[in-house]
Chains A and B, each alone.
Chain A
């Protein structure tokens, strides 16, 4: 899942990036409003974590601009402004959630995951495709009775496919949602993770769930 952090406190930005990356997110970080707006407009983010008091362009202006342009990213405002009026103003400007500083990282993570479920129209944090179970909160995967251990990127690819189960996902789309803009790999790397995933969850004699649609992409399907 791809995340944009816009936060002017360098130390906070750094630790947030680290925390989310360790949770398997592809994280882009912007230190001011201008950079944040540029990145938000240029890329397709699942969630944008946005500070309000920002240098150059303030958070609400960025948010209004994104909404006006029809940007579908879910936006969580993360700010020190804690008055009800500020919360109302932020949510009315098009934010999907609002969290005040100081906050707990676990809460922020849970709220970001909730926004992801909303984005992919899933209610249950437990994603199920046939006998494959993905616990998105605990990041645990089971195939049948067997627990499957996945590396973060492998998990991320599987989770993305599971969120959009039954649909053909182009390789480039998966790549865009799993890699930040500084990454120098290409979408071919997705093929590598798909083949590793197949070895772990689709190994014979199990019925394969991940299928290749030639020239279009991949699909995760139960039947």
Chain B
């Protein structure tokens, strides 16, 4: 006969309500873990999505995610020429915020290396990949943009031709993919007035130097279109990403790059490390502390509940001792109740979480490993929570049943 189950059946309402309460607390613990997983997963979506083996960034920077990195576009060709590299392309990524349908629309802008990369590797759920070099975009579904929808960014209008799923930046913003050229056009877009003011400023600066004063044509060029000024560099890229040939010696390739003083190179693993240890790490530790606190609170609450349930049973426990029940029967009665409560609360946490987590504004990713780990933690706190009740029960004398 299972005394624990009989006692639960006797005070079912209270037990169920208590279990739901503990379950909701555990759901928060589970959710915090899911938020962290989502944060990490979101942060790695871009780095893993582009499929790079090496990240070439501005010398001595930790770019392009941890800090700003600027490289001339020609670095792409230099990287591509290194033995062991199969292809190289520019990486353009930045975040913009625009007004759309009267609401702010934040999006990560990711440049694809057209024509080698049209978005085939993206997690598409609708539409198609990019089919032309300009004015098309692939948007993540979290941005709320529909297929065929047109969006004006800078001076151009882009049509949504594809929709992806789970493509969000480490900041939680949905990512939209454009060709690199379009991504840069969006990044470096300047209003007409700003262009005019810059041309005037350039003319002034050119007039202040001998070369400008003695060469009137220089002044004309300086105040004209930027493209017509040969000495000005083209728009910089955030980074250059390279893929290695199958079987290529990564260390050998890295040694080649070590001789280049204008760049720094990271492997894919190093780049992920930089990303996670940089922007995500503080959030991770914050969430971890909250989880620890919530777990302790859950354990304390469970201990108090089990202790209270035990106090209600002191007379039956004394009676059991009087009729000769061994201690393990009484310990089993209390510990089994605690374990049943823990197991049911865990189930409640999981079921409610499955319904609620998708409604959260950021992704809550509940991984199998985390579920197992939380299950083990619940097991431990269930056992610990029962100790106070067991201690109390062991102090009950059998003659208390008589009084």
A binds B: no
State the B residues within 8 Å of A (CB). none
State the A residues within 8 Å of B (CB). none
